[in-house]
Amino acid sequence: MGMTFVYPALTSESSTAKQVPGAVYEDEKTGKVYKYVKAGAAITMDTASQLACALKVDESQATDNVVLMTTNAGEVIAGVSNSAITSGDYFWMQTKGVVTDAAVSSGSAGDPLVSHTTNGMFAVSANTDVGNIKAQLLENVASSLADIELL
């Protein structure tokens, strides 16, 4: 008799931890990687059509807590949320792979991305230090939604 593996519900959130915070899951079909984290504050989408927003590690709390990228431009992106999340809830943050419909200020395919001054938005980085860049644009965009890749 074979073993059955139950895949985690990557789009759900919970007020109680359903996994060990910090757990990592890799989807073998898509190559996307997710990390189980806790929202250190409410995570919201700026527009109805935005499907992903930038997140960072909450330095004031445990390392598995994340918050929405706020008005600080140029910060390294820890991952993205694919939905609005209630403060204090646990969820799967995407940390690697293609992300559809992220809000990007403007740029060209291949440009490195960091945080923007608008909450949850991405901006092109002048810093090309590979160690600091965790995302790049996959298409040309002029102040709209774009596909990006988390590295």
Lowest mean pLDDT among 8-12, 19-23, 105-109, 116-120: 116-120
HSE, CB side, 13 Å, CA atoms: give it for residue 108.
1
Is pLDDT above 50 for 1? no
Strand segments (E) across the chain: 13-14, 24-26, 33-39, 53-57, 65-68, 79-81, 90-107, 112-115, 122-124, 135-137, 141-150
pLDDT of residue 48: 47
Helix (H) and strand (E) counts for the chain? 0, 11
- pTM as predicted: 0.82
pLDDT of residue 51: 57
Are the C-beta atoms of 97 and 31 separated by less than 8 Å? yes
Is pLDDT above 80 for 8? no
**Cα distance between residue 24 and residue 10, in whole Å:** 11
